[in-house]
Amino acid sequence: MAVKQFLKCSVCGKEFEEAVKTVCDECFGPLKVQVNLEQAKEKLTKSVLAQRTQSFWRYFELLPLNDKKNIVDIGTTVTPLVKAERLGKILGLNNLYVKNDAVLPTYSFKDRPVTVGASKAVEFGYSVFSCASTGNLAASTAAHAAKAGLQCYVFVAGNIEESKIASIAGYGPTIISVEGIYDVANRLANEAADKYGWAVMNVNVRPYYQEGEKTLSFETCEQLEWKKPDAVVVPVGSGSLLYEIWKGFEEFEEIGFVGKEKVRFYAAQGKGASPLVDAVKSGGAIKPYKEVHTIAKSIAMGAPGDGDAAIGIIRETKGGGESPSDEEILEGIRLLAQTEGILTEPAGGTTIAALKKLAEQGAFDANETVVAYVTGNGLKTVDAIPKAKRVNIKPRIEEVDAIVGKR
Ligand SMILES: *Cc1c(COP(=O)(O)O)cnc(C)c1O
Ligand SMILES: [Zn+2]
């Protein structure tokens, strides 16, 4: 079979040829990309991977792009999987790892989906990139548009941090700040995609864009020496990241790179914007929020677009979820920074705070391998961090003596 990838309805299973298409003709279910795994399995072996560089695109055979010449790459690489020994000790976990995506080129994990969405958009012949964003996606989309030499319009939720706007503006896109929450900006981006013929990363090229997220689990397995973890904690906005991490583990299993062990999935959302975690706890359906209130703004969405898929995975794997308060999120940021030397934004603080709550509830055995996904950099949201304390002195060593308690 020659095709490298096709689209598949996530509800009824009907298959379609690759196209710019997001919903099923039969049942209106969301379409997902499926890469031809039989083909990938023949070309991509562990020894082939061992010879490749640490570029994101080392998994080319498992990504939905036909021609490497269309790749738009700003230098996205494999990120560190850090053994979190000091944090683990505090939480009673002997095998805790932090997957640190705060180090990617635009400082969040969004560079993974966007390098795929942007490359696919080039392959489809688009000449304008766009997105609807809580901040991180806009920065990444704008950076990739710059690299491709294309125009870029980004829609952002009116409530996002000033420091995030500044980090987007540097790449030179037109920033359209939409009054209201993310969900409203997203609706407008949907209309724009049709009306102006733009490639909107998380709208009309979404099935391709999402595929980039599964590389997080590919890397995790390779870094754990070809093993899956026992449990993962994932920050959730739309639920796409959680779904794709699961899909990545499934695909690695299918091509024979890892075994059949099941991974338990735990979701982290900020209290005040936690429709998915609420449903996990209640056992019922997802009830959307009309307003969202949390400092974890990059994952603050009222209605999670991939929520049903995400909740299905959490239930099936017997995982769970937690929704820490703003205070707990800030404590999560401090805890990670002061035990592991990793400064994350509130979304990452939410992951660590949820991990802490779950560990305290006994969700994990002490020796299980647990991976916490830290998805964004703290320097992007300095205004979310409470005013820093410092000691002011005159330039005299005696004043330093007083601070360190020496004379
Ligand atoms: C976008 C984002 C997420 C997760 O988003 P989903 O919509 O659930 O895929 C997590 N963390 C950060 C920092 C993000 O920007
Ligand atoms: Zn269908």
> Which is nearest to 244 in space by CA: 10, 17, 88, 61?
10
- Which ligand is in closest contact with the Cα of 27? 2
| Whether residue 1 has pLDDT greater than 70 | no
Closest ligand 1 atom to the C-alpha of 213? 9
Q: Among residues 92, 87, 96, which one has the least CA distance to residue 370?
A: 96
What is the tens place of the pLDDT at every residue in 267-278?
999 999 999 999
**What SS3 class is residue 396?**
coil
Q: Where are the beta strands (DSSP E) in 244-358?
A: 264-268, 320-322
- The predicted pLDDT at position 383 comes to 79
> CA-CA distance, 142 to 146, in Å (whole number)?
6
CA–centroid distance, 30 to ligand 2, in Å, is: 7
| Ligand 1 atom 10 nearest Cα | 235
The model's pLDDT over 352-381, given as tens digits with 9 standing for 90+, comes to: 999 999 999 999 999 999 999 999 999 988
Residue located nearest, by CA, to atom 11 of ligand 1: 375
Of 111, 181, 298, the one to substitute when testing ligand 1's pocket (max ligand atoms within 8 A of C-beta) is 298
Q: Where residue 260 falls among pLDDT bands split at 50, 70, 90?
A: very high
- Model confidence at 25, pLDDT cuts 50, 70, 90, reads very high
Distance 25 CA to ligand 2 centre (A): 7
Using most ligand atoms within 8 A of CB, pick from 109, 141, 161 the residue to mutate for ligand 1.
Answer: 109
Closest ligand 1 atom number to CA of residue 244: 9
pLDDT score, position 159: 81
Q: Is the Cβ–Cβ distance between 112 and 373 less than 8 Å?
A: no
Judge contact between 155 and 165, C-beta under 8 A.
no
Cα–Cα–Cα angle for 337, 293, 176, nearest 5°? 90
Q: Which helix H or strand E contains 242, and what residues bound it?
A: helix 240-254
Which pLDDT score, from 0 to 100, does residue 183 have? Answer: 87
CA 111 to centroid of ligand 1, rounded, Å:
11
Over pLDDT 90: what percentage of the chain?
90
Task: Tell me if 330 sits within 8 A of 220, measured CB to CB.
Answer: no
Per-residue HEC secondary structure of 56-124 comes to HHHHHHHCCCCCHHHCCCCCCECCCEEECHHHHHHHCCCEEEEEEHHHCCCCECCHHHHHHHHHHHHHC
Separation of alpha carbons 216 and 116, rounded Å: 13
Task: Choose the residue to mutate in 32, 103, 106, 108 for probing ligand 1, maximizing ligand atoms within 8 Å of C-beta.
Answer: 108
What DSSP line would sit under 359-388, residue for residue? Answer: HHTT-S-TTSEEEEEE-BBGGGGGGGS---
Q: Which atom, in ligand 1's list, is nearest to the CA of 134?
A: 15
Quote the pLDDT of residue 48. Answer: 96
Work out the pLDDT band at 162, boundaries 50, 70, 90: confident
Distance (Å, whole) CA 108 – CA 215: 14
Q: How far away, in angstroms, is 28 Cα from ligand 2 center?
A: 6
Q: What is the pLDDT of residue 34?
A: 96
- Name the more confident of 67 and 194: 67
- Average of pLDDT values for 229-251? 97
**Residues near ligand 1 (Cβ within 6 A):** 108, 110, 136, 235-241, 298-299, 347, 375-376
Residue with tokens 């929520």: 307
> In the numeric block, which tokens belong to residue 50?
């061992």
Q: Which ligand is nearest to the CA of 26?
A: 2
> Ligand 2 centroid vs 15 CA: distance in angstroms?
8
Instruction: Please count the other Cβ atoms lying within 10 Å of the Cβ belonging to residue 115.
Output: 30
